[in-house]
Amino acid sequence: MRYELLVGLRYTRSRKRAQGRNRFISFISLVSMLGTGLGIAALIVVLSVMNGFQEELRTRILGVASHIQISGPGGELESWQQVADEAGRHPDVRAAAPYVQEQAMLSYEQAVRGTLVRGVLPDAEEKVADFARYMRAGRFDALQPGRFGIVLGRDLAFALRVQVGDKVTLIAPQGLVTPAAVLPRVKQFEVVGIFEAGMYEYDSGLALVHMQDAQVLYRLDERVSGVRLKLDDLFAAPRVARELVGSMESDLAVSDWTRSHANFFRAVALEKTMMTIILFLIVAVAAFNIVSTLVMAVQEKYADIAILRTLGASPGSIMAIFVLQGAIIGLVGLAGGVIGGLLLANNLDVIIPALETLTGATLWNKEVYYISELPSKVLPSDVVTIVSVSFVLTLVATLYPSWRASRVNPAEALRYE
């Protein structure tokens, strides 16, 4: 073992016979280790929860929306089958489904709510969305042409106070022109299902009907609003959308999920970035503790440094001793923080209920967040970044005190010894 490492280890360890400032320096070293560990653990847990939220949000949105949406000019598409076949020839496109999308009012007894009506083909829609998985009552495939059935979001059904089997009145904005006046188009629909996607935007404002019923109601004949696509890789949506724009007719509008729901993901990404910066400040505080620890150690070890210099130690070796001492403090804190952070992040589903039982407080309200448990996803890239940046901060914190140690003059240090 090189003597620099040996001396650095001896300075780091707390010895039973250490007295006074030596023991206090050892205590400060322990505090620095704990501070580094807590900062690392907090970073891992918070970023894992943010990753879990981001994935949960993406899953819920894309379970109702589509990866790519192709719409015609003026919101109407004539030959949707040709467009679907052309888009389906792209190697990254897994499935395609037509849709009709219009505004409407739903009423039941005294309750009235505005909603977005989406006409779908159940068999094709199941290939691009997950409505069948989100059904809480009734069946998604109960949407049959000519039956005029309707599937409502959970919050929308709750606001209208309807259940499966009730009949709601749908009022279309397109009116019937009569000699007396323009009358709204009204049609009764039977509630055949209720879904809950976990996104308030959809649960409170989306109603599904069969596409043929929507075409009859809105007088579209064989026209549709557009075609929805599902890809093998959802993150390839921007690239695939650009390629489809170049290969399809110029009057078609192609939009991917990163544009139509950009605000959600930008908000989560911004929050994740700010939380990362804030929590890295905890690690920076721990690094300042390492600075103070090494400064006190250098002051305490003036005589030892002078003796080592008189024995032939170079300034670089003296600097290496204290760099190693600070690095050891940082590495121990890093190891403890990574282990603790991974244990916490991977067991939040057990820890949160235990804390709720212990404190009697509700830490995670399922009615508010629409998620049964706190989501958590540990990304190896996040852990590597956290460890790398934290270790660099630790090394930077050791440079100034170590440089001061290497500048000690042996004659001055031993003058009063």
Contact 152, 126 (CB under 8 A): no
pLDDT given for residue 152 in this prediction: 93
Indicate the DSSP class of residue 50. H
Phi, psi of 227 (to 5 degrees): -130, 135
Q: Give the C-alpha distances (Å, rounded to integers) separating 181 from 162, 177, 186.
A: 31, 6, 15
Q: Do β-strands 68-71 and 226-231 pair in parallel, antiparallel, or remain unpaired?
A: antiparallel
For the whole model, what pTM was predicted? Answer: 0.68
Round to the nearest angstrom and report the end-to-end CA distance of the chain: 29
Query: How far is Cα 364 from Cα 355, in angstroms, rounded to an integer?
Result: 10
pLDDT given for residue 58 in this prediction: 76
Q: Minimal CA–CA distance to 385: which of 311, 334, 343?
A: 334
Query: How far is Cα 36 from Cα 338, in angstroms, rounded to an integer?
Result: 10
Q: How does the average pLDDT of the chain come out, rounded?
A: 81
Distance of alpha carbon 177 from the chain centroid: 50
Indicate the DSSP class of residue 165. T
pLDDT given for residue 16 in this prediction: 44
pLDDT given for residue 23 in this prediction: 65
pLDDT given for residue 359 in this prediction: 80
pLDDT given for residue 207 in this prediction: 92
Look up tokens 């600097």; give the residue: 319
Q: Give the C-alpha distances (Å, rounded to integers) separating 95 from 2, 19, 78, 91, 229.
A: 64, 74, 19, 11, 6
Look up tokens 């057990």; give the residue: 350
C-alpha R_g of the chain: 33
Up-side HSE of residue 54: CA atoms within 13 Å toward CB? 21
Q: Do β-strands 182-195 and 149-153 pair in parallel, antiparallel, or remain unpaired?
A: parallel
Residue ranges for the chain with pLDDT beneath 50: 14-18
Up-side HSE of residue 165: CA atoms within 13 Å toward CB? 0
